[in-house]
Structure 1
Amino acid sequence: MEIFSISSLLLLFFLPFSSLPSPAIARGGERISSNLFSGSVNSNNWLFKRHLFEANHSPVRGDFAHGYMTNSELEKAVKEFGRRCSKISRIYSIGESVKRIPLWVIEISDKPGQEEAEPSFKFIGNMHGDEPVGRELLILLANWLCDNYMKDPLATLIIKNVHLHILPTLNPDGFTLRRRGNANNFDLNRDFPDRFSPMNDDVDSRQPETKAIMGWMKGRHFTASASLHGGALVANYPWDGTDDRRKWYYACPDDKTFQYMASVYSRSHHNMSLSKEFPGGITNGASWYPIYGGMQDWNYIHKGCFELTLEVSDNKWPKANELPILWEYNRMSMLNLVASLVKTGVHGRIVSSDNGQPLPASIMIKGINYTVKAGRVFGNYHRLLAPGESYEVTVTMPGYKSKATHILLGDEAASLDFILDPVKDPPKQKLPHGCDCINDNNSKLELVELLNGNHLKITLAVVGILGFTCLVLRRKMIFKFRRQKQAMVGNKRQNVV
């Protein structure tokens, strides 16, 4: 009887705490079968947190939406940020959703709106309407950077050396409807041109949100990007699809670099790297399950942008009181991923030796079948690579001699400028024997007369004067170009090829 009383008291004490919301403990998926590494996946045996949801899945309950910003509140938060942090930000729209809601972007930089020889990174949230955590985290990220600029080294590094673009919501209509697809019930992550399937080749049939992203990418080059999703806890990297539509590890040319980028996010996270389902908290998309028409692969193939798909919460729509926990779990991951653009890889500028002008040359790495282009305005390039390896870097440009060099990439970024020499004009071919280049015989006689007597002396004098003038001008140009080279070698960059 005494034992029963004590137990009853303990039960009454702990009972009120059982109704408190559980923290967002991310698992990366729940295992309900013992055959985790069997190589086959049966939908009857497994529950994947990030699976192919059908359009008619159950909507999110209204009580779960409580505490999240509405679309109007989100727009207000974006514009308020722009006013509060106007010295380091710019607000602009890339288009509208089906329901004509503007797709607002926050640009954060020490020189917002200006073109610089710096890498650009973009974050995209809420691509799926029923995965709203990303939109909340991205507003928190923007405000944290503003509050910590010139106070925190990482915030200062990012704002001074990267142009960061944040699109909090790509699918505001889906958010309002509490469903995955947009207002037309299209999954936006199946709406991009695909390397394996012609299903999305019809430009007119694409959704307004998809067109907005593609138009955005036409006018701006992003070195890397990430899209924030929910329903699992893992950093996903290309390829997302396979040529035979089977589920297996399908590596892209930059597989090692993508593994490194995904690991930067995973290892910086509170517990993503501890996942039992995904070793190290990262996964190749096709190895998880293939998708087609995804934004991630399209960025890499068509725009030279290294994109990750980040599943930041194992619950697609957690209660709003869990958002502060999710922010703390993901904050360092987001910051370190952006900072990796300047902390690792190979960076530099490519210019012409004859006039010092920037060249939009191609940068290739031996053994990696992928080309990165330098910018047209500054000739700058930012080539992401996995650290700790040796690479042969080759730069090519039509009309110029190619150059190559070897580097051993450590934990720090390598600075490597290239000065390309133009290809000299090939020697003029002699005219074939018997070629009648002057058809008029009278013209031939006039030419002979010109070369006789005083005419010949005048001609030689003119030729001599012109030759001397060209020689003087050439020497002046060579002196000018050498000074430009010396100025370039004397700047902060470590290596010039």
Structure 2
Amino acid sequence: MEKAFCFSFVLLVLFFSSFPFPALARGSERSSSNLPGSEDYNNGFLVRHLFEENSRQLGREVTHGYMTNSELEKAVKEIGQRCSNICRIYSIGKSVKEVPLWVIEISDKPGHEEAEPAFKFLGNVHGDEPVGRELLILLANWLCDNYMKDPLATLIIKNVHLHILPTMNPDGFSLRQRGNANNIDLNRDFPDQFFPTNDDVDLRQPETKAIMSWLTGRHFTASASLHGGALVANYPWDGSQNSRKEYYACPDDKAFRYMASVYSRSHHNMSLSTEFQGGITNGAAWYPIYGGMQDWNYIHGGCFELTLEISDIKWPKADELSTLWEFNRMSMLNLVASLVRTGVHGRILSSDTGQPLPASVMIKGINYSVKSGGTFGDYHRMLGPGESYEVMVTMPGYQSKTTHILLKDKATSVDFVLDPEEPRQHKQFSTGCDCNYGNQNKLEMVGFFRGIHLEITLPAIVILVFLCFLLKRKMIKFPKHKQLLGHKRPIVI
């Protein structure tokens, strides 16, 4: 009989009685005196309509040269048609005003699940920060045009499943405002780890629900959202437990700093920032926010997400877009390529069946785990290079395994084959004689002899032979060796 021992881990979530101080939006002025609108408090908690837009309305002239929502949709579908061999177009939902949220998937096998890491880019989270949506269309076209021509484009398409959502907030863009059509800041609409700001599922915006559902159906290794109003690569945590403006590191702080630095160093001038050392910042150290998408991705989606501020001006003139594209192109490409250039990757299989296992991968000293895929058992763990790590794999019902790796400047591949907690029992019985009895009593007699201990005495053997002779009128030849098999050790590959 096989026994499966199931282990469960309980995550204790602490709720506090006070809500954080009002926080500014990414890319906005960093002085509360410049904060447009007002906040309402309900039983001590900041309610959802954080930013009531009553500041000056942006004129239509600022949108000149930018794609409208319909033009953006047309551009997305044209990419899908022109590059159908490496592109697939799909929608993850609709905005408040029923505008489809289109995604461009780019891979050498689009639409097919593979044992590869997946990366997602999101633009236009805030309606008045449209540079990201323009740059993401340019990125998709560039990859399409340079596949099998440029080594970096080919590396990404062959080894990563890239998903591009040019606009998360098409309604806010058309209204030329920060929030969506309901005037909700989508980057404050996600469940928060420190404060129960958005626990009511029914109150979440359709755009937020679409993103959350997207991550439920597909695992992303890493992600980045493109914002505007500053020039810096921002990483978790975005908020702090005490709501103070201070450096508040997440468990994978080293990996996130590395990823942020990959973007900053590849940028034309982000790393030269005089405001942010190296062009990167911890979110809570810059200014804390709550209900943000970045932290939620990391906590609930197993996805390492950055918030990228790619333009000092939120809505620059359209003729500056080509320059901004050149400034950010290598940063975007290198960030996606970092998924296969560093970290530890591999597959986790069962030793007795050879089937893939949805196991947990943990790093000693880092209180965070990632799951392997159920289809292929593949895992992709982002880690900062240049250090030694102890990697442990666990799965309920299986024995854990641990190995040590030295992660240099390239990725490391490690496959794990896990043994069941209790190997299967394989029992083989021998009757002691090749007798074919014709009634139940004789079968029960054979069953009796079957249970006799191996150290059988010579007289007992003689009696057994004589009985067989009387019953079948012929002698039975006994095997020279009688072997009883106990537990059979699983084969470890």
**TM-score of the superposition, structure 2-length normalised?**
0.79
How far the C-alpha of 1:258 sits from its partner, in A, is 0.4
Structure 1's 468 and 198: CA in aligned 2 closer, same or farther, altered over 3 A? farther
Matching residue's letter, 1:245: S
Matching residue's letter, 1:135: R
Which residue does 2:301 correspond to in 1?
303
How far the C-alpha of 1:53 sits from its partner, in A, is 6.4
1:281-292 mapped onto 2 (5 Å cutoff)? 281-292=279-290
Structure 1's 295 and 150: CA in aligned 2 closer, same or farther, altered over 3 A? same
Query: Which of the residues 409, 423, 446 maps onto 1:457?
Result: 446
Structure 1's 316 and 468: CA in aligned 2 closer, same or farther, altered over 3 A? farther
Separation in 2 of the partners of 1:470 and 1:95?
Answer: 62
Report if the CA contact (8 A) 2:28-2:229 is conserved. Answer: no
Deviation per residue, 1:375-404 (Å, 9 max, x gap): 111110000000000100001111111111
Runs of 4+ in 1 over 4 A off after TM superposition: 28-31, 41-46, 450-454, 461-465, 467-472
Report if the CA contact (8 A) 1:238-1:285 is conserved. Answer: yes
Structure 1's 452 and 395: CA in aligned 2 closer, same or farther, altered over 3 A? same
How far the C-alpha of 1:43 sits from its partner, in A, is 5.1
How far the C-alpha of 1:57 sits from its partner, in A, is 2.4
Which residue does 2:56 correspond to in 1?
58
Which residue does 1:199 correspond to in 2?
197
How far the C-alpha of 1:468 sits from its partner, in A, is 8.8
Which residue does 1:417 correspond to in 2?
415
Which residue does 2:188 correspond to in 1?
190
**Percent of residue pairs bearing the same amino acid type:** 74
Separation in 1 of the partners of 2:166 and 2:68?
Answer: 12
1:12-411 mapped onto 2 (5 Å cutoff)? 55-411=53-409
Separation in 2 of the partners of 1:373 and 1:406?
Answer: 19
SS at match of 2:197: helix
How far the C-alpha of 1:113 sits from its partner, in A, is 0.3
Separation in 2 of the partners of 1:222 and 1:156?
Answer: 20
SS at match of 1:198: coil
Matching residue's letter, 1:249: Y
Matching residue's letter, 1:242: S
Report if the CA contact (8 A) 2:89-2:104 is conserved. Answer: yes
1:427-442 mapped onto 2 (5 Å cutoff)? none
SS at match of 1:144: helix
User: More helix by proportion, 1 or 2?
Assistant: 1
SS at match of 2:173: helix
How far the C-alpha of 1:42 sits from its partner, in A, is 6.3
Report if the CA contact (8 A) 1:29-1:277 is conserved. Answer: no
SS at match of 1:195: coil
* RMSD between superposed Cα atoms in Å: 2.9
Separation in 2 of the partners of 1:229 and 1:29?
Answer: 7
Structure 1's 174 and 287: CA in aligned 2 closer, same or farther, altered over 3 A? same
How far the C-alpha of 1:249 sits from its partner, in A, is 0.5
Which residue does 1:35 correspond to in 2?
none
Count of residues in Structure 1 that have an aligned counterpart in Structure 2: 415
Structure 1's unaligned 5+ residue stretches are 1-27, 32-40, 47-51, 428-449, 486-497
SS at match of 2:111: coil
Deviation per residue, 1:319-363 (Å, 9 max, x gap): 000000000000000000000000000000000111111111111
Structure 1's 276 and 45: CA in aligned 2 closer, same or farther, altered over 3 A? farther
Structure 1's 98 and 469: CA in aligned 2 closer, same or farther, altered over 3 A? farther
Separation in 2 of the partners of 1:108 and 1:460?
Answer: 68
Separation in 1 of the partners of 2:163 and 2:325?
Answer: 19
How far the C-alpha of 1:456 sits from its partner, in A, is 1.9
Structure 1's 360 and 471: CA in aligned 2 closer, same or farther, altered over 3 A? same
Report if the CA contact (8 A) 1:393-1:405 is conserved. Answer: yes
Structure 2's unaligned 5+ residue stretches are 1-25, 36-49, 426-438, 455-477
Report if the CA contact (8 A) 2:186-2:208 is conserved. Answer: yes
Matching residue's letter, 1:455: E
Structure 1's 454 and 130: CA in aligned 2 closer, same or farther, altered over 3 A? closer
SS at match of 2:445: helix
